[in-house]
Amino acid sequence: MTESSSLRKKRRMPALMFFALAACVCLLVFLARKVGAQEPAARGKSDRLTLRMAAHVLPPASASPADGGEASPAAYEEPLEYAKVGPEGGVPVHREGPFKSPFAHPKFGGPAVVKVGMLLTNVRNYDIQKGTFDADFFLTFTSDKAMPPMEPIFTNGKVDHKEVMADKPTFKMYRFLGNFSSPLDLHDYPFDTQELAIEIEDDDNGTDQIKLVADDHHTNLDVGFHVPGWNVAYTEARVLNHYFPDRFEHDDMYYSRYIFKLGIARFGTSAVFTVFVPAIVIVLISLSGLWYPRDELEVRANATTPMLAAAVLFHFALMQSLPATAYLTRADKLMMAVYAILALHMLITWLWFVFDEKHTLRIMRVGKWVGAPLTLAVLLAGMFL
Amino acid sequence: MTSKPTRWSSMFPMTLASALALLTSCKKEARWFDAQVELTRVDVVRRDDKGRPMTKDVEFSYFTCPGHQLEVIRGGTEFAECMDRYKVGDKVPVKIESHWLKEGHWDWDVQALGVCKRPPEEGDEASFDTVQECSDMTVYGAKVGFHCKRIPEKHLLQKCPWFGR
pLDDT at A11 over 50: no
Q: For residue B49, tell me if it sits in a domain.
A: yes
Task: Identify the three-state secondary structure at position A49.
Answer: helix
Q: For residue A62, tell me if it sits in a domain.
A: no
The total of other beta-carbon atoms located within 10 Å of residue A382's CB is: 23
Cβ-based contacts of B146 with chain A (< 8 Å): 214, 216, 219, 236-238
Q: For residue A166, tell me if it sits in a domain.
A: yes
pLDDT at A247 over 70: yes
User: Do both A256 and A287 map to the same domain?
Assistant: no
User: Do both A296 and A210 map to the same domain?
Assistant: no
Range of the domain at A330: 269-384
Residues A125-145: pLDDT tens digits? 999 999 999 999 999 999 999
CATH of the domain at A130: 2.70.170.10
Q: How many residues does this entry show for chain B?
A: 165
Q: Is B30 on the interface with A (CB under 8 A)?
A: no
| Total count of domains within chain A | 2
Please give the full DSSP string across B14-82, using - where no structure is assigned. HHHHHHHHHHHT-----EEEEEEEEEEEEEEEEE-TTS-EEEEEEEEE-TTSSSEEEEEEEE-HHHHHH
Q: How many CB pairs under 8 A join A and B?
A: 79
User: Do both A133 and A193 map to the same domain?
Assistant: yes
The answer to whether B144 contacts A296, with C-beta atoms less than 8 Å apart, is no
Residues A40-85: pLDDT tens digits? 333 333 333 333 333 333 333 333 444 444 445 556 788 888 888 9
Q: Is B12 on the interface with A (CB under 8 A)?
A: yes
| Total count of domains within chain B | 1
Q: Is A324 on the interface with B (CB under 8 A)?
A: no
Percent of residues, chain A, with pLDDT higher than 90: 57
Q: Is B61 on the interface with A (CB under 8 A)?
A: no
**Domain closes at, from A220, A249, A266:** A266
Q: Is A376 on the interface with B (CB under 8 A)?
A: no
Give the closest of A220, A259, A265 to B151, CB-based.
A265
Q: For residue A223, tell me if it sits in a domain.
A: yes
pLDDT for res B28? 77
Range of the domain at B67: 31-163
**pLDDT under 70: residue ranges of chain B:** 1-17, 20-27
The answer to whether B12 contacts A284, with C-beta atoms less than 8 Å apart, is yes
Give the confidence band of A337 by pLDDT, cuts at 50, 70, 90. very high
Task: Identify the three-state secondary structure at position A246.
Answer: coil
Q: Which residues of A95-115 are buried (b: 16+ CB within 10 A; e: fewer)?
A: eeeebbbbbbbbebbebbebb
pLDDT at A205 over 60: yes
Distance from CA of A155 to the nearest CA of B (A): 19
Closest CA to A304 of A337, A363, A344: A344
CATH of the domain at B130: 2.40.50
**Domain closes at, from A208, A238, A266:** A266
Q: For residue A367, tell me if it sits in a domain.
A: yes
Counting Cβ atoms within 10 Å, is residue A20 exposed (0-12), middle (13-18) or buried (19+)?
Answer: exposed
Biggest alpha carbon–alpha carbon distance for chain A: 130
Q: Is A160 on the interface with B (CB under 8 A)?
A: no
Give the closest of B130, B132, B144 to A238, CB-based.
B144
Counting Cβ atoms within 10 Å, is residue A132 exposed (0-12), middle (13-18) or buried (19+)?
Answer: middle
Q: What is the mean pLDDT of residues A235-255?
A: 92
pLDDT for res A33? 46
Give the closest of B125, B137, B150 to A224, CB-based.
B125
**Domain closes at, from A245, A266, A287:** A266
User: Do both A255 and A278 map to the same domain?
Assistant: no
Q: What is the mean pLDDT of residues A311-315?
A: 95
Cβ-based contacts of B57 with chain A (< 8 Å): none
Q: Is B148 on the interface with A (CB under 8 A)?
A: yes
pLDDT at A115 over 90: yes
Distance from CA of A223 to the nearest CA of B (A): 6
Q: For residue A357, tell me if it sits in a domain.
A: yes
Q: For residue A205, tell me if it sits in a domain.
A: yes
Q: For residue B6, tell me if it sits in a domain.
A: no
pLDDT at A276 over 80: yes
Q: For residue B17, tell me if it sits in a domain.
A: no
Q: For residue A301, tell me if it sits in a domain.
A: yes
User: In A, residues 172-231, which contact B (CB 8 Å cutoff)?
Assistant: 214, 216, 219-221, 223-224, 231
The answer to whether A214 contacts B145, with C-beta atoms less than 8 Å apart, is yes
Asked if residues A337 and A321 have their Cβ atoms less than 8 Å apart, the reply is no
Q: For residue B3, tell me if it sits in a domain.
A: no
Q: For residue B71, tell me if it sits in a domain.
A: yes
CA A34 to mean position of chain CA atoms = 39
User: Do both A223 and A285 map to the same domain?
Assistant: no
Task: Identify the three-state secondary structure at position A109.
Answer: coil
Give the closest of A214, A223, A285 to B146, CB-based.
A214
CA A89 to mean position of chain CA atoms = 42
pLDDT at A271 over 90: no
Percent of residues, chain A, with pLDDT higher than 70: 81
Q: For residue B56, tell me if it sits in a domain.
A: yes
Range ranked top by mean pLDDT from A7-21, A350-364, B70-84: B70-84
Give the closest of A223, A233, A291 to B5, CB-based.
A291
Cβ-based contacts of B150 with chain A (< 8 Å): 232-235, 263
Q: How far is CA A102 from CA A105, A248, A252, in A?
A: 8, 10, 9
Where does A249-291 have alpha helices with state H? Answer: 268-271, 277-288
CATH of the domain at A332: 1.20.58.390
Distance from CA of A213 to the nearest CA of B (A): 7
pLDDT for res A270? 84
